[in-house]
C-alpha cells in the first residue's frame, strides 16, 4: 500500500521509511514561525524552566501581526517582549512594522514555505502553507515552546481525506466559494484531526494564491492540515522566491484515504456562510434583504493581491452604499505596495473604502473594524463564531472578495455575478 503526501513528509522527517495513520512520530521541524500573541507565553515558559535558547536561529521566523501596529498598552508590551527575545538570541528573520504583514501571507511570499517541509506556528491557520505541498499545522504555546527549544514535535499521523474537485468554476465563483461548500458538506468537525488533501481539475486550474484559500480553511472543518500535491505552478511560485533546495513529495496512486469526496464545481454558486458557523453556507442569491453594516476585505484567507484585484474590479468607478462601511486590509506590506503600484488603493479610496496597513486587525476581534452589538459584517475572513469579530451580539457572514465587494455597493448581501 502506498502513502499519501502527508504520510511521506512525516516519514521523511521522523527518520522512517513508512508511517501509518494513528502512529506517533517525533518529527524534525524545518520552520518554526512565531507571532505576537502565542509566542510571548512560550518564551515565558522557556525562561521559567531555564531553557531560554533556540534550536536553530536560521529556522525561526518571527512575524508580529495580530495586534501590530500596537493597539493598546498590553499589545505594545507583547510586541516589546517579542523584540527583546529576538535581540537576545540574534534572530535575523524578524519582520518589523513596515515590512511585515499577516504571517500566513508573508511566510510563503518571502520563500520560507517549500514543498516537503514541516512547518508549525502557534496559530490555527498555519494549515495555509500546505498549498505548496508542505506539512504545516498550528500548535499551542506549550508545543511552540518545545519546538523553539528542540526543533522537534511529536504528532499522531493523521488519516487523509481526499477532495476531488472537478468541473470548472463559473463566473463569480472562486476558491472561497469552493471551500465554503466543502465545509458545508462535511461540517466543522467533518475532518477532525485529518489531512485534507485537495486535487482534481479545478485545483489544477486555480492559481497558487487561490489554493492558499482552500488549505487556509481546512482547520474550519477540524482538519489537522490542508495539503495540495505540488505541480508546475507550485514550483514556479517557489523558485521565483528562493534558490533553496527542496524535495517534492506526492501521494501514491494506491494511497489509502479514510474518505474520498467528489464535488462537481460546475454547479457551485457564490456562497455565503451565515452566522455562526463556517459550515452554515448557502448561495448568496438566496440571502434576501439582509442589511449589512460593514464589509471587511483582507486576512490570511483573502488578503492577497489577487483578492484585492477581484474586489477592485467590482468597486472601480463606484461608491459603496450609504450606511455601509468597507474596510480593506492588504495581507502584507508587499501586497499593499503592489496594490498601490497597480492603482488598487486609489480605486478603494475613491469608492469610500477605508484602507488599512497590513494587520490581522478585526479578523479575530482585535481592532481596525471591531463590531458592536447588533451589527452585521460580510467578511472575507475564515471564522464567524459568536463574538469572533467583536460583540457576541454581532453577526459575521463569510464570503469571497467578489461577494464582499458587491455587498459593499448595495448594502445588502449580493450575488457578485450581478456586478460582473
pLDDT in tens, 361-382: 999 999 999 999 999 999 999 9
- Given 230, 263, 296, which residue is the final one in a domain? 263
Same domain, 259 and 325: no
Domain with 405 in it: 271-419
Domain count, the chain: 2
- Given 213, 229, 263, which residue is the final one in a domain? 263
Same domain, 200 and 284: no
Q: What is the mean pLDDT of residues 56-70?
A: 96
- Given 263, 298, 332, which residue is the final one in a domain? 263
pLDDT of residue 289: 87
Same domain, 222 and 302: no
Same domain, 289 and 257: no
Same domain, 347 and 407: yes
Same domain, 339 and 285: yes
Scanning the structure block, which residue is given the C-alpha cell 495586534? 67
Same domain, 218 and 326: no
Q: What is the pLDDT of residues 3-12, one digit of tens each?
A: 999 999 999 9
Same domain, 120 and 204: yes
Q: How confident is the model at residue 158 (pLDDT cuts 50, 70, 90)?
A: very high
Same domain, 336 and 220: no
Q: Is 199 within 8 Å of 166 (Cβ atoms)?
A: no
At 404 the three-state DSSP class reads: helix
pLDDT of residue 222: 97
pLDDT of residue 418: 83
Same domain, 215 and 291: no
Q: What is the mean pLDDT of residues 124-150?
A: 97
Same domain, 65 and 121: yes
Q: Is 132 within 8 Å of 114 (Cβ atoms)?
A: yes
At 331 the three-state DSSP class reads: coil
Q: Is 327 within 8 Å of 401 (Cβ atoms)?
A: no
CA-CA distance, 242 to 249, in Å (whole number)?
18
How far, in Å, are 303, 335, 356, 400 from residue 298 at the CA level?
A: 4, 11, 10, 10
Q: Which residues contact 333 (CB under 8 A, 6 or more apart)?
A: 98, 99, 100, 101, 357, 358
CATH number of the domain where residue 408 is located? 3.30.499.10
Return the exposure string of 32-64: e unless at least 16 CB atoms fall within 10 Å of the residue's CB, then b.
bbbbbbbbbbbbebbeeeeebebbeeebbbbbb
pLDDT of residue 419: 87
Same domain, 297 and 375: yes
CA-CA distance, 281 to 181, in Å (whole number)?
7
pLDDT of residue 420: 85
Amino acid at each position: 500500500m502506498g502513502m499519501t503526501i502527508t504520510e511521506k513528509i512525516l516519514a521523511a522527517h521522523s527518520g522512517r521509511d513508512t508511517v501509518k495513520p494513528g502512529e506517533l512520530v517525533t518529527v524534525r521541524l524545518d520552520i518554526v514561525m512565531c507571532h505576537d500573541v502565542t509566542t510571548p507565553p512560550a518564551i515565558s515558559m522557556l525562561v521559567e524552566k531555564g531553557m531560554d535558547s533556540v534550536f536553530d536561529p536560521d529556522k525561526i521566523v518571527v512575524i508580529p501581526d495580530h495586534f501590530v501596529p500596537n493597539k493598546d498598552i498590553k499589545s505594545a508590551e507583547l510586541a516589546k517582549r517579542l523584540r527583546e527575545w529576538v535581540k537576545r538570541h540574534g534572530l535575523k528573520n524578524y519582520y518589523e512594522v513596515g515590512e511585515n504583514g499577516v504571517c500566513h501571507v508573508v511566510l510563503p511570499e518571502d520563500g520560507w514555505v517549500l514543498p516537503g517541509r514541516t512547518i508549525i506556528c502557534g496559530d490555527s491557520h498555519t494549515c495555509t502553507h500546505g498549498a505548496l505541498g508542505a506539512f504545516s499545522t498550528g500548535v499551542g504555546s506549550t508545543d511552540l515552546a518545545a519546538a523553539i527549544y528542540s526543533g522537534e514535535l511529536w504528532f499522531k499521523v493523521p488519516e487523509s481525506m481526499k477532495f476531488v474537485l472537478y468541473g470548472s468554476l463559473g463566473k463569480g465563483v472562486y476558491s472561497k466559494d469552493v471551500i465554503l461548500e466543502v465545509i458545508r458538506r462535511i461540517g466543522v468537525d467533518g475532518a477532525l484531526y485529518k489531512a485534507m488533501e485537495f486535487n482534481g481539475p479545478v485545483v489544477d486550474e486555480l492559481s497558487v494564491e487561490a489554493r492558499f484559500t482552500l488549505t487556509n480553511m481546512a482547520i474550519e472543518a477540524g482538519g489537522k492540515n490542508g495539503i495540495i500535491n505540488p505541480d508546475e505552478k507550485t514550483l514556479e511560485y517557489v523558485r521565483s522566491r528562493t534558490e533553496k533546495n527542496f524535495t517534492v513529495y506526492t501521494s501514491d496512486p494506491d494511497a489509502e484515504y479514510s474518505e474520498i469526496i467528489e464535488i462537481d464545481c460546475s454547479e457551485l454558486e457564490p456562497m455565503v456562510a451565515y452566522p455562526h458557523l463556517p459550515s452554515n453556507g448557502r448561495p448568496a442569491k438566496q440571502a434576501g434583504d439582509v442589511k449589512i453594516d460593514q464589509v471587511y476585505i483582507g486576512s490570511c484567507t483573502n488578503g492577497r493581491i489577487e483578492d484585492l484585484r477581484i474586489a477592485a474590479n467590482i468597486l472601480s468607478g463606484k461608491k459603496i452604499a450609504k450606511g455601509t462601511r468597507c474596510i480593506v486590509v492588504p495581507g502584507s506590506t508587499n501586497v499593499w505596495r503592489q496594490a498601490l503600484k497597480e492603482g488598487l488603493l486609489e480605486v478603494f479610496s475613491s469608492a469610500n473604502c477605508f484602507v488599512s496597513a497590513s494587520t490581522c486587525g478585526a479578523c479575530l476581534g482585535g481592532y481596525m473594524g471591531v463590531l458592536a452589538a447588533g451589527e452585521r459584517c460580510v467578511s472575507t475572513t475564515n471564522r464567524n463564531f459568536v463574538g469572533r469579530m467583536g460583540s457576541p451580539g454581532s453577526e459575521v457572514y463569510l464570503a469571497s472578495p467578489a461577494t464582499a465587494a458587491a455587498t459593499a455597493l448595495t448594502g445588502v448581501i449580493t450575488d457578485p455575478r450581478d456586478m460582473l
